[in-house]
Amino acid sequence: MSSAFSGSFTQQEPISEEGIEAAVKILRNGRIHRYNVLEGEDGETALLEQEFAEYMGVKYCLAVASGGYAIATALRAVGVAPGDKVLTNAFTLAPVPGAIASVGGVPTFVGVTEGLVIDLEDLEAKIAQTGAKVLLLSHMRGHICDMDALMGICNAANVIVIEDCAHTMGACWNGVLSGRHGAMACYSTQTYKHVNSGEGGFLISDDADLMARSTIMSGSYMLYARHKAAPPVDAFKDIRYVTPNISGRMDNLRAAILRPQVRELDKACNAWNERYRAVEEVLASTPGMTLIERPEAEAYVASSFQFLLLDWSEEAIDDVISRCAARGVELKWFGGAEPVAFTSRYDSWRYAPSEPMPKSDRVLKGVIDMRLPLTFSLEDYALIGSIIRDEVSAVFRAQSD
């Protein structure tokens, strides 16, 4: 009988004792709202913003209620108005087109390459075709495109880039942290991302005007001077009268849990990458499987693993997924006709009409995705990899017989 794996793919690491103590302190003093601080006290949220800004090497940081909220706020800050087309990745998750739709924008999808990044040729074509002035770039599943080339294209066409770094917190392109290329960048601190406060997010930028607008929108009232990583009060002088409050603040309890995690982020990134490489090594040269080539300039943070079963039939892919599931390995398939759990395809977001993209459809039909929880050991990942390799090989051989 073949071996099976028995770990839970949705179990995250516990909050550290340091985080628990910090959270309990907030619970005991009851000052959970970010602006509920004592005279002379900064508050956990303001300190978290300052620390994340330092980590990112950015001037300004705003902590908010969710990653999706951070994206919608960025879109509003750069001036996306109802009816405006906003370019975004065809390969991404539902909160991305959802954030565009939430501000009345029209998601306009750009294709995906076999490297699982945005197709720069298609990006140029879609910019020319639509005249869109904003790109919401999703670094989906941590795959980073050639950012120098992308910024070249967007700068030449005066397209503002907002980066969705929900899967690239701590990652780099050519030595520059992911989120430091565009005008603004958004992060999620939701349980299944790189730091865990249940829900939450960050918005960062070097642009004082965009960040002052975002701060007022997040629900700062006239208390923005209490932020430690916000633009100088001068930046608020005029915009405070004309910027609506669209409440979405982070609170001190979540911030208290996050501060130690930001300090440990690089360590966690290394642990994910070790696990990624352990799986990659076992899967190398599996018949019928295409692994994703990672460019040298990309320093990824691989909290998940993808591979392609290009041109496989739906039945064969289903077969692989159920055989792996029977041996305890949870794979997700982005190519299914119907959206399931968190997976869905651009053509399943029917509020955002799209034209067929045959090259992208071929890739999307073959994308298999697996979480890499830090709660599994390297030995666990060697076993997981061997189970996937066995089952993909077996189904592939049966197909070609």
Summarize as ranges the residues that interact with ligand PLP (CB under 6 A).
66-68, 92-93, 95-96, 138, 140, 164, 166-167, 188, 190, 201
Nearer to ligand PLP, 67 or 373 (CB): 67
Q: By 3-state DSSP, what share of the chain in percent is helix, strand and coil, each rounded to 5?
A: 40, 15, 45
- Whose Cβ is closer to ligand PLP: residue 145's or residue 320's? 145
Which is nearer to ligand PLP, 66 or 215 (by Cβ)?
A: 66
Distance of CA 388 to the CA centre of its chain: 25
Q: How far is the CB of 164 from ligand PLP (least distance, A)?
A: 5
CB 342 → ligand PLP: shortest distance, Å?
Answer: 8
What is the smallest separation between the CB atom of 216 and ligand PLP, expressed in angstroms?
A: 21
Neighbouring-strand partners of residue 299: 172
The CB-of-140 to ligand PLP minimum distance in angstroms stands at: 6
Compare residues 37 and 195 and give the one whose CB is closer to ligand PLP. Answer: 195
The CA-based angle 189-192-198, given to 5 degrees, is 50
Between 138 and 360, name the residue whose CB sits nearer to ligand PLP.
138
∠ Cα 82 93 132 (to 5°): 35
Q: Count CB neighbours of 63 within 10 A.
A: 29
Q: How far apart are CA 85 and CA 79, in angstroms?
A: 12
| Whether the Cβ atoms of residue 113 and residue 143 lie closer than 8 Å to each other | no
3-state SS class at 323? helix
- Angle at the Cα of 258 (from 253 to 264), degrees rounded to 5? 155
Question: What is the nearest approach in angstroms of ligand PLP to the Cβ of residue 58?
Answer: 19
Q: How far is the CB of 185 from ligand PLP (least distance, A)?
A: 12
Give the nearer residue to ligand PLP in terms of CB position, either 304 or 354.
304
Q: Among the residues of 163-313, which ranges form H helices?
A: 208-217, 239-242, 252-263, 265-283
Question: Of the two residues 102 and 174, which places its CB atom closer to ligand PLP in the complex?
Answer: 102
Closest CB to ligand PLP: residue number: 67
Residue 96 CB, shortest distance to ligand PLP, in Å, is: 5
Tokens of 35: 């602006």
Closest of 293, 292, 311, 299 to residue 270, by C-alpha: 299
